[in-house]
Amino acid sequence: MSREVAFDLLNRVQSDDAYANLLLPTLISRAKLDSRDAAFVQELAFGTIRNWLLYEKIIEAASSRKIDDIEPDAQIVMVLGVHQLLEMRVPTHAAINESVNLAKAKASKGSVGFVNAVLRKIALKDKDDWIDSVTKGLSELDSLSIQYSHPIWIVQAFKAALASRGIDGKLEDLLASNNLAPKVSLAALPGFCNPDDFDKEQQAQNRSPIGVEISGNPANIELVNRGFARVQDQGSQLVTLALAAAPVEVADDNWLDMCAGPGGKAAILAAMSLESGQRFVSNEVSDHRAKLVINALKPLGDFEVMTSDGRSLGQGAQKFSRILLDAPCTGLGALRRRPESRWRRRPDDLVDLVKLQRELIQSAWDALEPGGVLGYVTCSPHLSETTGQVAWAEGRFKGQLELLNANAILNSISQSLNLDESLRTAQLWPHVHGTDAMFLALLRKSIN
């Protein structure tokens, strides 16, 4: 049953563009799996998605067939089988036999013998030997693309982003970190709880002063169930705290989260606004996402949540001293958490996203009080979505924009980050900071 659930998840990810992290709990609940089997399914499914390209290349080499010439259902059975053989503590005979049984249940009769033969051949070598075999004669970037199962355009984008920060020798470390399941972190919402309220034995080194890294199921923690602590990557916590800490030159009385869904960063800002007395407003473009924000804020109090296109907010009468623009982006900074995104995104997506980001920046700038600060955030290190957009804004608002030192502000919040303060925009990295690859620029609007 566990392997059938993993198959169904991968099938939905491929055929319906489903989000694995959202769909998996539903499939596990329907199958009535216990915690042990649920953990097996998660490791099998997510590990397979993270390594999909490598496994396809291994299957091609072992079968002497192009992957597109193999029946789609059999492809899924086989990549699941390869992951069990090369990455999991599943005995070889069990991995092969269970894969054959899965092929019988999910694929055509004619594919069963093929699945059996190919997996037996793959079992004769270990993962490193297969990597050597399928990358032989390729360029460095092409080899890394296959070894770590990242599309080549993403590998190239990461290389450029790292080089822009002077750490271009760490590309392989970044790719490897994207294939490791992230630890679960909580945000202890200021004024409602703090990290000391949690079991110290569960905590590792935390980058965020409100962060708590835990083991186990957060649903078993009372403060989470009450809505006073939230599951949230510590990179997301840090960029939100940095906006709140940035110096403004205006009465600091109105805060806005312009693209607030699903509400994690909004919850931090809402909690902080209660402590320091600001009015806090959230906005989302769709009713569905606005409801997620409303539900996220409900345990903390009554906050205004607007439903409108963020690109129109700058035309309104309301002005704000701090605006968080967590802009829609490729999400390449969260591939640890949403591994299927690497297969779903295309370079062409950047054209529309960059245009949308600029329209949102313009709207946020128009809604910003002189002396106020705009926090531009993306969960992507791609230069077109990060420093490229800051350069555009500096040209667009020349003479009106002061680029604050986001690295200095983040270092003051968490000294362990050790960010380079010679650079004014901040880029976090999973292989360096243990967070998602969050980008932050803090743009202050001149009073004159």
Q: For 113-132, what is each residue's pLDDT tens digit?
A: 999 999 999 999 999 999 99
Residues labelled catalytic: 379
What's phi and psi for 445, nearest 5 deg?
-90, 125
Shortest CA distance to 233 belongs to which of 185, 269, 265? 185
Measured between alpha carbons, how far is 220 from 198 in angstroms, rounded to an integer? Answer: 12
255 close to 283: Cβ distance less than 8 angstroms: no
Do residues 329 and 440 share a domain?
yes
Range name among 28-37, 42-51, 76-85, 249-258 with the lowest pLDDT average: 28-37
Is the preceding peptide bond at 25 cis, omega within 30 degrees of 0?
A: no
pLDDT computed for residue 25 by the predictor:
85
pLDDT computed for residue 187 by the predictor:
96
Do residues 242 and 290 share a domain?
yes
Measured between alpha carbons, how far is 213 from 231 in angstroms, rounded to an integer? Answer: 10
Range of the domain at 159: 139-177
Shortest CA distance to 104 belongs to which of 118, 94, 119, 114? 114
Do residues 16 and 149 share a domain?
no
What would the 3-class secondary structure string for the chain be?
CHHHHHHHHHHHHHHHCCCHHHHHHHHHHHHCCCHHHHHHHHHHHHHHHHCHHHHHHHHHHHHCCCHHHCCHHHHHHHHHHHHHHHCCCCCHHHHHHHHHHHHHHHCCHHHHHHHHHHHHHHCCCCHHHHHHHHHCCCCHHHHHHHHCCCCHHHHHHHHHHHHHCCCHHHHHHHHHHCCCCCCEEEEECCCCCCHHHCCHHHCCCCCCCCEEEECCCHHHCHHHHCCCEEECCHHHHHHHHHHHHCCCCCCCCEEEECCCCCCHHHHHHHHHHHHHCCEEEEEECCHHHHHHHHHHHHHHCCCEEEECCHHHHHHCCCCEEEEEEECCCCCHHHCCCCCCHHHHCCCCHHHHHHHHHHHHHHHHHHHEEEEEEEEEEECCCCHHHCHHHHHHHHHHCCCCEEEECHHHHHHHHCHHHCCCCCCCCEECCHHHHCCCCCEEEEEEECCC
Measured between alpha carbons, how far is 195 from 205 in angstroms, rounded to an integer? Answer: 12
Q: What is the mean pLDDT of residues 333-360?
A: 94
81 close to 74: Cβ distance less than 8 angstroms: no
Distance between alpha carbon 386 and the CA centroid of its chain, in Å? 16
Do residues 410 and 342 share a domain?
yes
Do residues 16 and 101 share a domain?
yes
State the pTM of this model.
Answer: 0.94
Do residues 268 and 400 share a domain?
yes
Angle at 163 between CA 238 and CA 174, to 5 degrees: 60
| Average pLDDT value over all residues in the chain | 94
Last residue of one domain, picked from the residues 213, 231, 249: 231
Do residues 299 and 423 share a domain?
yes
CATH of the domain at 256: 3.40.50.150
Whether residue 81 is contained in a domain is answered as yes
Whether residue 19 is contained in a domain is answered as yes
Do residues 221 and 172 share a domain?
no
Do residues 56 and 145 share a domain?
no
Per DSSP, what are the bridge partners of residue 279?
Answer: 254
pLDDT at residue 87 tops 70: yes
Q: Which residue has the higher pLDDT, 203 or 362?
A: 362
Measured between alpha carbons, how far is 57 from 60 in angstroms, rounded to an integer? Answer: 5
Per-residue pLDDT band for 31 (boundaries 50, 70, 90) equals: confident
pLDDT computed for residue 204 by the predictor:
57
Do residues 383 and 403 share a domain?
yes
pLDDT computed for residue 205 by the predictor:
63
Q: What is the mean pLDDT of residues 90-116?
A: 93
Residue 202: other Cβ atoms inside 10 A: 14
Q: Which residue has the tokens 């804020």?
A: 297
Per-residue pLDDT band for 203 (boundaries 50, 70, 90) equals: low
Whether residue 355 is contained in a domain is answered as yes
Q: What is the mean pLDDT of residues 214-221?
A: 86
Whether residue 122 is contained in a domain is answered as yes
Whether residue 57 is contained in a domain is answered as yes
- Two tokens at 98? 């269970």
Around 339, how many Cα atoms within 13 Å sit in the side-chain half-sphere?
Answer: 26
Whether residue 134 is contained in a domain is answered as no
Last residue of one domain, picked from the residues 194, 213, 231: 231
Long-range Cβ contacts of 354-359 (<8 Å, 24+ apart): 354/384, 354/385, 354/388, 354/389, 356/311, 356/327, 356/328, 357/327, 357/328, 357/329, 357/385, 357/389, 358/389, 358/392, 359/311
CATH of the domain at 93: 1.10.940.10
Per-residue pLDDT band for 202 (boundaries 50, 70, 90) equals: low
pLDDT computed for residue 1 by the predictor:
80
Measured between alpha carbons, how far is 289 from 258 in angstroms, rounded to an integer? Answer: 12
Do residues 148 and 207 share a domain?
no
- Give the orientation angle of helix 152-164 with respect to helix 140-147, to 10 degrees: 110
Portion of the chain with pLDDT greater than 70, in percent? 99
Do residues 379 and 422 share a domain?
yes
Domain count, the chain: 4
Whether residue 359 is contained in a domain is answered as yes
